Amino acid sequence: MGADEKASYLRFAAAASEAATEGAMRTAGEQAAAALGVEAADAGGAAEGPRRLQVTWLGTSSGAPTQHRNVSSVAYRLPEGTFLIDCGEGTCRQVQAAGIDPATIRRLLGGRRRMRDEHSMPLVEGLTWTLPAALGVTVVAAQLEHRVPCWGYVLQEHDPPARPDHARMAELHVSAAAVEEAVNHGGPDAPVQLPSGQALPTRKLMSPPWRGRKVVLLGDTCNSEAIVGPGAGADLLSHEATFSREMGAKARIAQHSTSSMAGAFARRLGAQQLVLTHFSSRFMERKEDSDVGDVRKLRAQAARSFGSHRVMAATDLYTVDVPAAKPGETTAPLWDQMVPQQGLSGWRKPRTEPCPLDHW
């Protein structure tokens, strides 16, 4: 490690440590706000509308960096702070290239833990942990099957505080004044009188204005069953696609996933969107577009297994906005939400047309 790189790393680590300390100091305030039934100021913005939630792929290569891709790393970004997941070598530089202030980093979530013995590590079904929440997000970690211990994460944004459901109130012919009076006198379980004479708890007449978004970010894996429960119905799934469908035998030996395995898991999870990452260097040829050649082939194979065109092959330093949706609704397609980041010259936005399912 050169002197400049070492100094950059030390500055990065110091900023992250300072941010973590600040986060610990703010925890008491967040807990107090939760006890009052509202989100802390840095955890919602419910009064103004849903806050912006973005995911940036800082690195999308597998075992080693290539000319155009750094090794794996993902940033989960909120206006109040950032979580970094599976930080491979060179992440400090990618953070700077993506325009992320290191002082805003609130959590570092590891994707793998290297051991001297590189033999297969058995998967323990259902092995999950719920990590302390920050920024109005609960993180569930689950063990993935790989030849070294690896982890996947479900980042579940908290639902905003419930508000009066005016459509439901109009359907039952209940006035807002009646609901407010009942809440003021007896809380959310206080009964409100309906014109029919029936009494209904006021909580039945309230609902969140939108639901918290769920993002699933996986590390190296050939089997992610442990995360199916907490990750079900994800708005966005990031899954490795190290190999093509034809390389299934090699994937089993290396304990990585093929593009078809990624699509099949997205379908099993009930995900709304699938983003492929962690590509083998054999698929790194780049010409005029990011989805040319074999990378486009991986995307098409994943789409066929997924049964949906909502598949993207990630490139480094690209960001996707995860849109909010009302309770019970699915999120809109992400393709128009993609935000190109300032980075190396010549990088282009991935194609947005439906990927061909029948060509490969």
Q: What is the pLDDT of residues 42-58, one digit of tens each?
A: 444 444 678 999 999 99
Do residue 214 and residue 276 come from a single domain? yes
Nearest one of 55, 90, 331, 89 to 217, comparing CA atoms: 55
Number of domains in the chain: 2
Q: Which amino acid is at 347?
A: W
pLDDT band at 112 (very low <50, low <70, confident <90, very high): low
The answer on pLDDT for 315 being more than 60 is yes
Q: Which amino acid is at 40?
A: A
Do residue 191 and residue 221 come from a single domain? no
pLDDT at residue number 87: 86
Residue 203 covered by a domain: yes
Do residue 266 and residue 130 come from a single domain? yes
Q: Which residues share a beta bridge with 18?
A: none
The answer on pLDDT for 355 being more than 80 is no
Buried b (16+ CB within 10 A) or exposed e, 45-70: bbeeebbebbbbbbbbbbeebbebbb
- Residues 275/312, Cβ–Cβ less than 8 Å: yes
More confident residue, 137 or 353: 137
More confident residue, 179 or 2: 179
**Positive or negative CA dihedral for 57, 314, 235, 260?**
negative
Do residue 12 and residue 147 come from a single domain? yes
Do residue 303 and residue 279 come from a single domain? yes
Do residue 184 and residue 268 come from a single domain? no
Total-model pTM: 0.73
To the nearest 10 degrees (0 to 180), the angle between helices 259-269 and 293-306 is: 30
Report how far residue 233's alpha carbon sits from residue 229's, in angstroms, rounded to the nearest whole number. Answer: 9
20-24, 108-112, 263-267 — which one is most confidently predicted on average?
Answer: 263-267
Q: What is the CATH number of the domain that holds 72?
A: 3.60.15.10
Q: Which two tokens stand for residue 123?
A: 């998967």
Q: Which amino acid is at 189?
A: D
- Residues 234/352, Cβ–Cβ less than 8 Å: no
H-run or E-run covering 261: helix 259-269
Do residue 181 and residue 80 come from a single domain? no
Q: Could you tell me the residue range of the domain that residue 220 belongs to?
A: 3-160+210-340
Taking phi over 0 as left and psi of -120 to 50 as alpha, with beta for the rest, 281 belongs to: alpha
How many other β-carbons are positioned within 10 Å of the β-carbon of residue 35? 8
pLDDT band at 217 (very low <50, low <70, confident <90, very high): very high
